[in-house]
Amino acid sequence: MVASVIYVAIILLLIIWLLASSIFVVQQQTVDIIERFGKFHRIVGAGIHARIPLIDRIVKHVELRTMQDKFDLSAKTKDNVTITMTVAVQYRVSQQPGRHIMDSGIYRSYYALADPEDQMKSYIVDALRSTVPQFNLDSVFDEKDAIAESVRRQVANHMIQYGYEVVGTLIQSIGLPADVENAMNSINAAEREKIATQSRAEAEKIRVVTEATARADAMKEAGRGIAEQRKAIAQGIKDSLSTIQEAGVTSQEANELFAFTQWTDMMGEFAHNGRASTVVLPSDFQQTSSMFDQMLAAGKAVK
Ordered per-residue pLDDT tens for the chain, 303 residues = 667 778 778 888 877 777 777 888 999 999 999 999 889 999 999 999 988 888 889 999 999 999 998 888 888 888 888 888 899 999 999 988 778 888 888 898 888 888 888 888 888 888 888 888 888 888 888 888 888 998 899 999 989 888 899 998 998 888 887 766 666 667 777 777 788 888 888 888 888 888 888 888 888 887 787 777 777 777 776 776 677 666 666 666 666 666 677 667 766 766 666 555 555 555 554 554 455 566 555 556 555
Answer whether 77's CB lies under 8 Å from 140's CB: yes
Positive or negative, the Cα torsion across 210, 213, 217, 218?
positive
Topology annotation, domain 67-176 = Tetrahydropterin Synthase; Chain A (3.30.479)
Q: Which of 67, 65, 63 is nearest to 33 (CA)?
A: 63
pLDDT for the residue 282: 56
Rounded Cα distance between 93 and 32, Å, is 13
* Every domain of the chain and the residues it spans: 1-63, 67-176, 224-254
Q: Is 260 helix (H, G, I), strand (E, B) or coil?
A: helix
* Element housing 113 (H / E): none
* Element housing 187 (H / E): helix 178-246
Write the burial class of residue 53 (CB in 10 Å: 0-12 exposed, 13-18 middle, 19+ buried). Answer: middle
Answer whether 35's CB lies under 8 Å from 59's CB: yes
Positive or negative, the Cα torsion across 48, 53, 57, 61?
positive
pLDDT for the residue 180: 66
The DSSP string of 197-250 is: HHHHHHHHHHHHHHHHHHHHHHHHHHHHHHHHHHHHHHHHHHHHHHHHHHTT--
Rounded Cα distance between 86 and 175, Å, is 8
- Cα-flanking dihedrals φ and ψ of residue 274, to 5°? -70, 155
pLDDT for the residue 65: 92
| Cβ-based neighbour number of residue 269 at 10 Å | 10
Rounded Cα distance between 296 and 256, Å, is 12
Measure Cα distances from 14 to 8, 24, 62, 162 in Å: 10, 17, 30, 41
Q: 32 - beta bridge partners?
A: 44, 61
Long-range contacts of 130-135 (CB under 8 A, 24+ apart): 132/75, 132/76, 132/77, 132/83, 133/75, 133/76, 133/77, 133/78, 134/78, 135/77, 135/78
pLDDT for the residue 274: 58
